[in-house]
Amino acid sequence: MPNSANLGHKKKVFDLFAQKVLVVVGKGGTGRTTVARVLAELGTKTGRRVAVIAGTSGTHFLAKEDPLLSFSSLEPGQVLISYLYEHGLGQLGKRLSSTGLASIISTAIPGIADLLVLAKIKQMERSDAADLIIFDAPASGHFLRLIATPKGLADIAAAGPLRKQSREVLEMLDDPTRLGVAFVTIAEETPVKESIETMKQLKKSSGIVPCALFINSVLPSIPGNEKVQDLSFLESTSPYYQAAKYMRTRSQSQKHYEAMAAKAFGLKPIEVPLVPTVELSEDDITYLADIVELQIRSKK
Amino acid sequence: MSLDILERSKVIVCLGTGGVGKTTTAAALGYMAAKAGRHVCVVTIDPAKRLADAMGIAELANTPKKIDTAPEFDLWAVMLDPNSTFDELVQKFATSPEQVEKIFHNTIYQNLTENLSGTQEYMAMEKLHELASDPRFDLLVVDTPPARNAIEFLNAPKRLVGFLENRMFRLLISPSQSVFRPVTVATRLLLRTISKVVGTQVVSDAVEFFQAFEGMEAGFKKRAAEVQDLLSQDSTSFVLVTGTHKDTIDEALYFASRLDEYELDVDMIISNRVTPEFGNELEDSRIEVPKDIRENLEYLIRLRSAELEQLSRLSVIVGKDKHILVPLLPHDIGSLSEIQEIGEVLVDSRSTFENSVSP
C-alpha cells in the first residue's frame, strides 16, 4: 500500500464518472499513460465502454482483449493533415508535401492542430461511441496553453469553417459535467512545482478547475521505517540499514512534495504506487486499479 | 579522470528526451572538464529554476556568463534565448534593414520559435556554431532542447531549411516565375481551398513571410551545412542521457537506430536516477531482521534489478564500459556542490554498467 499521508479531510473526492471526457495531463515521464490505463480499467470494471485516446503517436499502450476497451491515437500534426485532406486539399496536395503545408498552417495559426484534436474528441463525446473517453494529452505545453486560453481558441477560428467547431469545443471545456482535467505528477520538487504553475494558469485564464491529482511512482511505506534509528543491532554498513535509511529519506521527501501539491490543488491526491517491475503486466494494472479505487471510494 | 570525452572533445552534445536530467548531466560534465583545467561553456535551454540558479544563469542572456560560484575554474554558462538568436540570424542574413523589419513584423515569423518544431534545436546549433569560434573556450557542452525524441535535434536544420524552401509558396511569390510562367491553375485552386478551410489571413501571412525571407534561404542552408560539419568531426562527442523507465529506453533505442542516417555515433550513455545498490544480505540469517525491514531491502533490490534489465537493452548502442549509471539522489539538484557530486560519479570508473553489476 502506498503512503497515506494525512492531507486534510474535507477535500473533494474524485469521481471518475462525473464527466464523459477526462483529459489526463502531465509532463513527459510522469506516467500519464499508466494512469490513463488504470482509469480505463476502473471504467470497464463497471461495465462502461471506455475509449482511451493517445495524444502522441507511438504511445506504448498495454491493451488487453476487452470489448469494452478501445484504444486509438490523435496526434495533432496528423489530425491537421487529415483535416486538410478531407477539406478539398486531398487531390491537390499530392503534388506538394502535405506535411510542409501543415507546418505552414500550424505556424500561422498556433493551436489549430490541437483545436482539431479537441473537435474530434467532442464529436466522440456527442456520439454514442463510448461511455467514458480518456484523453492522454500530449506532453507539450501547447495543448495546455490552448485549453487555458479560450479566447485564443476563439481567435484561431475567427473565420472559416472552424468557427462552429471552436464554439462547440469551448462549450465542452466550460462544462465540468462533460469534460474534466486530471493532473499526473511525481512527488519531486521540479515536476510538482511545474504542475502547480500550470494548474494556476489554467484556473486563472480559463476557469477550468482540475478534478483530480494523481501522484505517480509512490514508494511503499515500510512500517518500520520510523524505527530505523533503533536498528543498532545492525551494522550501519548493513544493506538492511542502508536500504531502510534510503527508503525513509526518499519516502519523506515524496510525502513532502505530495503535501505541497495537495495543498496547492485543494484536492485529495490519489497515489499510484511504484511497482518494481521491468514492465507493467495486466495483473499490475489490476493491482493499481484496485489501489486507486480504494482511494476514490474512501471518505466520500 | 576516466572519462576520455572530457579530455579529447571540443564539443559534447547531450541528447535525450525531456525529464531525464539532461541539463544536470551537461552541467556536471562541464564542471568536471573545467576542474581538469579546460575552458568550458555550457549551453543550455530552459533549465529547471533551481538548476539555473545553481549555475548563476537565472536570467535569459544570449552571451556566456562566468559561473562565479566556481571562481577557481574557467566555467561559463549561457541560457539560450531562441527568439533573440533567431533575430540575430535574420539580421545577419538580411540584405536590408527593411527586410529585417518586414520579417520581424510577420505573424508566422513571430510564431516560428514556439510552434515550428525543430526551431529551438536549430537555434541551439546556431549558438554552438557561434561559440565554436570563440577563443575563450576549448570545450562546449550543449544541452539540447526537450524533445519527444533526441533525433529532432539532428533533424532540425533540415526541417527549418525545408520550411523556408517550401516549394508551393516559392512558386507563388517568385516574380520571375509569375512573369514567365503564370501561376498554375492547380496552385490557384489550392490557395483558394486553403483560404476556405483555414481563412484568408493564413495565405496572406504566408505569402508575406516567404516574400520577406526571399533570398535568405541560401544563408540558412549554408549555415546548416557548417553546423552539420562541426557535428560530424571527431572532436564532437555525443552523450545519450536516459532515465530508467521503459519509454526513455525505447526512445533512446529509436534514436540510435536512426543515427546511421547522419553518420554519427553515440560516444557514451549516461543513465540517471538509478536505484542504488545496497548489497545482498537476504540469506544472512544470523540476525533476526524484522519483516518490514527485510521487505524493504527486497523491494529496492527488485526495483534496481528491473531497472538494470531495462538499461541492459542499451548495450546494443555502446559497450557496458561506456554506459554510466548515476544513482538517484534523495534531493533535487540545486547547488554547484550537488552538480559536482554528480560530476564525481560520472568520472568514477566504478559507475560504469560493467563495474556496477555484482558478479
Half-sphere exposure of B2 (CA within 13 A, CB side): 15
Q: Rg (Cα) of chain A, in Å, rounded? A: 21
Q: How many other C-beta atoms can be found within 10 angstroms of the C-beta atom of residue A232?
A: 8
In tens, the pLDDT along B75-132 reads 999 988 888 889 999 999 898 999 999 999 998 899 888 778 788 888 888 889 999 9
CB contact (8 A) between residue B189 and residue A158: no
* Predicted local distance difference test score (pLDDT) of residue B237: 95
CB contact (8 A) between residue B196 and residue A279: no
| Chain A interface disruption, residue of B23, B115, B250, B314, most A CBs within 10 A | B115
**Residue in B190, B299, B330 nearest the CB of A220:** B299
Q: B46-84 burial, b if ≥16 CB within 10 A, otherwise e?
A: bbbebbbebbbbeeeebebeebeebeebbbbbbbbbbbe
How far apart CA B181 and CA B183 sit, in angstroms, is: 6
A229–B contact, CB cutoff 8 A = no
Q: Which candidate, A54, A217, A200, A199, places its Cα nearest to that of A139?
A: A54
Does residue B42 surpass a pLDDT of 60?
yes
Q: How many other C-beta atoms can be found within 10 angstroms of the C-beta atom of residue A177?
A: 8
Q: How many other C-beta atoms can be found within 10 angstroms of the C-beta atom of residue B154?
A: 23
Question: In the predicted model, what is the mean pLDDT of residues B47-51?
Answer: 72
Strand partners, B111: none
The CA–CA distances, whole Å, from A248 to A27, A127, A253, A300, B256 equal 26, 49, 8, 30, 37
Mean pLDDT of chain B: 85
**Residue in A104, A142, A243 nearest the CB of B297:** A243
Which structural domains are found in chain B, ordered by start? 4-84+118-157+228-277+284-356 (3.40.50.300)
Strand partners, B183: none
Does residue B34 surpass a pLDDT of 70?
yes
* Predicted local distance difference test score (pLDDT) of residue A97: 55
* Tens-binned pLDDT, residue by residue, of chain A (300 aa): 444 444 444 567 799 999 999 999 988 788 899 999 999 999 999 999 999 999 887 667 666 778 999 999 998 888 888 888 888 776 655 555 566 778 888 888 888 888 899 999 999 999 999 999 999 988 766 677 777 666 666 666 666 667 888 888 889 998 999 999 999 999 998 889 989 998 998 888 787 889 999 999 999 876 555 555 567 777 778 888 889 889 988 998 999 999 999 999 999 999 999 999 988 999 999 999 999 999 997 544
Contact between residue A256 and residue A262 where contact means Cβ atoms under 8 Å apart: no
How far apart are the two ends of chain B, measured CA to CA in Å?
Answer: 25
How far apart CA B355 and CA A144 sit, in angstroms, is: 43
* Predicted local distance difference test score (pLDDT) of residue A221: 74
**Residue in A87, A107, A247 nearest the CB of B112:** A107
A243–B contact, CB cutoff 8 A = yes
CB contact (8 A) between residue A188 and residue B310: no
* Predicted local distance difference test score (pLDDT) of residue B169: 61
Does residue B26 surpass a pLDDT of 90?
yes
pTM of the predicted protein model = 0.89
How wide is the angle at C-alpha A111 spanned by C-alphas B174 and B61, nearest 5°? 80
- 3-class DSSP assignment, residue B157: helix
Count A/B contacts: CB-CB distance under 8 Å.
Answer: 177
Question: In the predicted model, what is the mean pLDDT of residues B139-143?
Answer: 95
CB contact (8 A) between residue A142 and residue B115: yes
How far apart CA A104 and CA B203 sit, in angstroms, is: 9
Which structural domains are found in chain A, ordered by start? 21-297 (3.40.50.300)
Strands A270-273 and A50-54 turn out to be: unpaired
Which residue on chain A is closest to B191 by alpha carbon?
A89
Contacts of A279 in chain B (CB under 8 A): 246
Q: How many other C-beta atoms can be found within 10 angstroms of the C-beta atom of residue B293?
A: 23
Supply the DSSP string of A55-116, one letter for each residue. Answer: SSTT------S-TTEEEEE--HHHHHHHHHIIIIIHHHHTTS-HHHHHHHHHHHSTTHHHHH
N residues, chain B: 359
Contact between residue B293 and residue A231 where contact means Cβ atoms under 8 Å apart: yes
In tens, the pLDDT along B273-297 reads 999 998 876 665 566 788 888 889 9
How far apart CA B266 and CA B277 sit, in angstroms, is: 27
How far apart CA A254 and CA A243 sit, in angstroms, is: 16
**B10 band by pLDDT with thresholds 50, 70 and 90:** very high
Strand partners, B49: none
How far apart CA A117 and CA A142 sit, in angstroms, is: 12
Q: Which candidate, B112, B133, B134, places its Cα nearest to that of B123?
A: B112
Lowest mean pLDDT among A16-20, B59-63, B256-260, B305-309: B59-63
How far apart CA B320 and CA B34 sit, in angstroms, is: 26
How far apart CA B43 and CA B41 sit, in angstroms, is: 6
| Chain A interface disruption, residue of B112, B122, B194, B207, most A CBs within 10 A | B194
Contacts of B114 in chain A (CB under 8 A): 110
* Predicted local distance difference test score (pLDDT) of residue B176: 46
* Predicted local distance difference test score (pLDDT) of residue A101: 79
In tens, the pLDDT along B229-271 reads 999 999 999 999 999 988 889 889 988 888 878 888 999 999 9
How far apart CA B326 and CA B351 sit, in angstroms, is: 7
CA-based nearest distance B244→chain A, Å: 10
How far apart CA B174 and CA B183 sit, in angstroms, is: 10
In tens, the pLDDT along B310-332 reads 999 999 999 999 999 999 986 76
CB contact (8 A) between residue A110 and residue B115: yes
How far apart are the two ends of chain A, measured CA to CA in Å?
Answer: 20
- Own/partner pairs, A163-166, CB within 8 angstroms, 24+ separation: A165/A115, A165/A116, A165/A119, A165/A122, A166/A115, A166/A119
**Percent of chain B beyond pLDDT 90?**
39
How far apart CA B330 and CA A56 sit, in angstroms, is: 32
CB contact (8 A) between residue A224 and residue B292: yes
* Predicted local distance difference test score (pLDDT) of residue A230: 67
How far apart CA A216 and CA A39 sit, in angstroms, is: 13
Phi, psi of A250 (to 5 degrees): -65, -45
A244–B contact, CB cutoff 8 A = yes
CA-based nearest distance A272→chain B, Å: 16
In tens, the pLDDT along B160-203 reads 888 887 766 665 555 444 444 455 666 677 777 778 877 788 88
Does residue B6 surpass a pLDDT of 90?
yes
Take residue A258 and report the three cell numbers written for it: 505530495
**Percent of chain B beyond pLDDT 70?**
89
Which residue on chain A is closest to B204 by alpha carbon?
A108
* Predicted local distance difference test score (pLDDT) of residue A159: 60
Contacts of B281 in chain A (CB under 8 A): 238-240
**B337 band by pLDDT with thresholds 50, 70 and 90:** confident
CB contact (8 A) between residue A92 and residue B190: yes
CB contact (8 A) between residue A92 and residue B279: no
Contact between residue B14 and residue B141 where contact means Cβ atoms under 8 Å apart: yes
Q: Which candidate, A190, A81, A173, places its Cα nearest to that of A135?
A: A173
CA-based nearest distance B159→chain A, Å: 9
CA-based nearest distance A300→chain B, Å: 31
A103–B contact, CB cutoff 8 A = yes
